[in-house]
Amino acid sequence: QSVLTQPPSVSAAPGQRVTIPCSGISSNIGNNHVAWYQKLPGTAPKLLIFESDKRPSGIPDRFSGSKSGTSATLGITGLQTGDEADYYCGTWDSSLSAGVFGGGTKLTVL
Amino acid sequence: QVQLVQSAGEVKKPGASVKVSCKAFGYNLNTYGITWVRQAPGQGLEWMAWISTYNGDTKFAHKFQDRVSMTTETSTRTVYMELRSLRSDDTAVYYCGREFCDGDRCYLPDYWGQGTLVTVSS
């Protein structure tokens, strides 16, 4: 059971937009920044969003992040087949004094 | 550029210990620490622990605080993570990541190592 809650899967057609929600509580998302990662099988996680809404250099602006209260959202526009992957949200939990992740969401581009 | 290079995979028997290394390149060790995250087969990411490569401060997820230790060898820019009393459910890919912590709060990793598969089997 993960500390942060994500849907197990989402799907959309190529070219469409998809959002992936991540739900927490005040001690984690409510008071800390959120990071989003793309995870392909056999490869290390790739940072897509840091500090809730910032993109590292090299990450296309098709990827966006937002946070409101105790929830965060990853948005992906102009979906491509290469976006098929598992996506994870993560943040710091000030009560646990540890990092926490969501259970991951598998994105299927139909 | 920033790069983290991990040691090769290992096979261990239950009850044994494993030591995984993570060699850091391309940034100031005094600014960022190193975090360990694992992914068991078919499971999600699990944050384990963090060490400051500046002063040795550590942070642990509760379930790992009694079985994980970490050290930094500054001369070689290498961090070691040892996991003791291995069980079959410790079989996972272990990743190191560069993570910035500001006081009591951390921001999760930005750069990652390639991963080290640790298999625990009798």
Residue A7 is predicted with a pLDDT of: 97
Look at residue A102 and give its three-state secondary structure: strand
pLDDT > 90? residue A12: yes
Q: How confident is the model at residue A4 (pLDDT cuts 50, 70, 90)?
A: very high
Residue of B34, B37, B45, B48 to mutate for A, most A C-beta atoms under 10 A: B45
For residue B82, give the nearest of B19, B22, B10, B9 by alpha carbon: B19
Token reading at A74: 């990853």
Q: From CA B8, how far away is CA B16, in angstroms rounded?
A: 17
Residue B11 is predicted with a pLDDT of: 98
Compute the C-alpha angle B8/B114/A57, nearest 5°.
160
Please give the residue of chain B at the shortest CA–CA distance from A103. B44
pLDDT > 90? residue A1: no
Measured CA distances, A67 to A24, A29, A73, A104 (Å): 11, 8, 6, 17
Q: Looking at the partner chain, which of B44, B61, B108 has a beta carbon nearest the beta carbon of A104?
A: B44
The DSSP symbol for A55 reads P
pLDDT in tens, chain B (122 residues): 999 999 999 999 999 999 999 999 999 999 999 999 999 999 999 999 999 999 999 999 999 999 999 999 999 999 999 999 999 999 999 999 999 998 889 999 999 999 999 999 99
Residue B122 is predicted with a pLDDT of: 94
Q: Which residues contact B73 (CB under 8 A, 6 or more apart)?
A: B79, B80
Residue B111 is predicted with a pLDDT of: 97
Chain-centroid distance of CA B110 in Å reads: 14
CA dihedral B2, A66, A95, B99 (to 10 degrees): 0
pLDDT tens for each residue of A44-93: 999 999 999 999 999 999 999 999 999 999 999 999 999 999 999 999 99
Interface residue B36 vs chain A (CB under 8 A):
no
Q: Establish, for the pair of chains A and B, how many residue pairs have beta carbons separated by less than 8 Å.
A: 69
Phi–psi pair at B64, nearest 5 degrees: -110, -5
Q: From CA A101, how far away is CA A1, in angstroms rounded?
A: 10
Token reading at B54: 């500046």
Average pLDDT estimate for A13-21? 97
Q: How confident is the model at residue A41 (pLDDT cuts 50, 70, 90)?
A: very high
